[in-house]
Structure 1
Amino acid sequence: MSARNPWTVFSATSTGVVAVFLNISGVNVALPTIARELGASAAQSSWVLLSYMLVTTALILAIGRLADIVGRRPLYLAGYVVFTLATAACALASGPELLITARTVQAVGAAALVTNTTALLTDTFPAASLGKGLGLNATVAAVTQAIGPLAGGAATTLLGWRGTFLVTLPICLVGLVWSAAVLPRTARSTAPRERFDGVGAVLSALALAATLLTLSPDVLAATGFDGVGPAVVCGVVAALLWVLFVARQRRRPSPLVDLGVLVHRMRGPLYAAVLLNAAAQYAVVVLASLVLQSTGRHDALAAGLLVSPLALGTTVAAVVAGNLVGRVAARTMVTAGSAVVLVGTLLLAVVLTPDGAYTGVFVGLFAVGAGTGLFMTPGTSLLMLTVPAAQRGIANGVRSALQNVGFLLSTAVALGIATGGLSGADRADAYSGALSAAPSALGSFGDGVRAALVVLSVLAFLALAACVALPVRRSTRVASTTPEET
Structure 2
Amino acid sequence: MSRRNPWTVFSATSTGVVAVFLNTSGVNVALPTIARELGASAAQSSWVLLSYMLVTTALILAIGRLADIVGRRPLYLGGYVLFTLATAACALAPGPELLIAARTVQAVGAAALVTNTTALLTDTFPPGSLGRGLGLNATVAAVTQALGPLAGGAATSWWGWRGTFLVTLPICVAGLVWSLLVIPRGPAATGPRERFDGTGAVLSTAALAATLLALSPDVLTAMGFPRAGPVLGGAALLLWAVFVAWLRRSRSPLVDLGVLLHRLRAPLYAAVLLNAAAQYAVVVLASLVLQSTGRVGALAAGLLVSPLAVGTTAGAVVAAQLVGRFPARTLVTVGSSAVLAGTVLLAVVLTPDGTYWPVFAGLLAVGFGTGLFMTPGTSLLMLTVPADRRGVANGVRSALQNVGFLLSTAVGLGLATRELTGADRADAYAGALRAAPQVLGAFSGGVRTAMVVLSLLALGALLACLALPARRPAPLTPPADAPANPPTTPPVVEENVP
Partners in 2 of 1:223 and 1:358 — Cα distance?
Answer: 36
1:439 paired residue number: 437
2:36 paired residue number: 36
Residue deviations 1:4-40 (CA, integer Å, cap 9, x gap): 4443333222211111111111111111110010000
Matches within 5 A, 1:14-93: 14-93=14-93
Which is worse superposed, 37-46 or 232-241? 232-241
Residue deviations 1:423-455 (CA, integer Å, cap 9, x gap): 111111100111144332122212211111111
Matches within 5 A, 1:192-203: 193-203=193-203
Deviation at 1:240, TM superposition (A): 3.2
1:393 paired residue number: 391
Partners in 2 of 1:201 and 1:389 — Cα distance?
Answer: 24
Structure 1 residues 435 and 163: CA distance shift in structure 2, 3 A: same
1:251 paired residue number: 249
Deviation at 1:468, TM superposition (A): 1.2
2:331 paired residue number: 333
2:180 paired residue number: 180
Residue deviations 1:114-140 (CA, integer Å, cap 9, x gap): 222233334444556555444433322
Unaligned 5+ segments in structure 1 are 482-486
Identity of aligned residues (%): 80
1:277 paired residue number: 275
Structure 1 residues 226 and 189: CA distance shift in structure 2, 3 A: farther
2:224 paired residue number: 224
Which is worse superposed, 260-269 or 133-142? 133-142
AA aligned opposite 1:464: L
Unaligned 5+ segments in structure 2 are 480-498
Q: Which residue of 280, 303, 306 maps to 2:304? A: 306
Residue deviations 1:15-67 (CA, integer Å, cap 9, x gap): 11111111111111111110010000111111111111111111111112112
Is the contact between residue 142 and residue 312 of structure 1 (CA under 8 Å) also seen in structure 2? no
Deviation at 1:241, TM superposition (A): 2.5
1:94 paired residue number: 94
Which is worse superposed, 172-181 or 289-298? 172-181
Is the contact between residue 330 and residue 477 of structure 1 (CA under 8 Å) also seen in structure 2? no
Q: Which residue of 453, 456, 467 maps to 1:455? A: 453
Which is worse superposed, 121-130 or 261-270? 121-130
Q: TM-score, normalised by structure 2?
A: 0.90
2:396 aligned with 1:415: no
Partners in 1 of 2:456 and 2:218 — Cα distance?
Answer: 20
Structure 1 residues 381 and 304: CA distance shift in structure 2, 3 A: same
Residue deviations 1:117-167 (CA, integer Å, cap 9, x gap): 233334444556555444433322221122111111111111111000000
Structure 1 residues 91 and 480: CA distance shift in structure 2, 3 A: closer
| Aligned-partner SS, 2:451 | helix
Which is worse superposed, 68-77 or 274-283? 68-77
Residue deviations 1:232-265 (CA, integer Å, cap 9, x gap): 3223332332333223322222221111111111
Q: Which residue of 423, 438, 446 maps to 1:425? A: 423
Structure 1 residues 74 and 265: CA distance shift in structure 2, 3 A: farther
AA aligned opposite 1:286: V
| Aligned-partner SS, 1:212 | helix
Structure 1 residues 450 and 242: CA distance shift in structure 2, 3 A: closer
Partners in 1 of 2:79 and 2:62 — Cα distance?
Answer: 13
Partners in 1 of 2:160 and 2:168 — Cα distance?
Answer: 14
Deviation at 1:215, TM superposition (A): 4.1
Partners in 2 of 1:480 and 1:132 — Cα distance?
Answer: 8
2:492 paired residue number: none
AA aligned opposite 1:101: A
Structure 1 residues 361 and 189: CA distance shift in structure 2, 3 A: farther
Deviation at 1:195, TM superposition (A): 1.1
Structure 1 residues 317 and 413: CA distance shift in structure 2, 3 A: same
Is the contact between residue 27 and residue 152 of structure 1 (CA under 8 Å) also seen in structure 2? yes
Partners in 2 of 1:273 and 1:406 — Cα distance?
Answer: 10
Structure 1 residues 62 and 292: CA distance shift in structure 2, 3 A: same
RMSD: 2.2
Partners in 2 of 1:332 and 1:2 — Cα distance?
Answer: 41
Is the contact between residue 327 and residue 477 of structure 1 (CA under 8 Å) also seen in structure 2? no
| Aligned-partner SS, 2:111 | helix
Residue deviations 1:348-373 (CA, integer Å, cap 9, x gap): 11221112221111111111111111
2:289 aligned with 1:291: yes
Q: TM-score, normalised by structure 1?
A: 0.93
AA aligned opposite 1:359: W
Deviation at 1:415, TM superposition (A): 0.8
Partners in 2 of 1:2 and 1:352 — Cα distance?
Answer: 53
AA aligned opposite 2:174: V
Residue deviations 1:440-477 (CA, integer Å, cap 9, x gap): 21222122111111111110110011111111233263
Is the contact between residue 119 and residue 396 of structure 1 (CA under 8 Å) also seen in structure 2? no
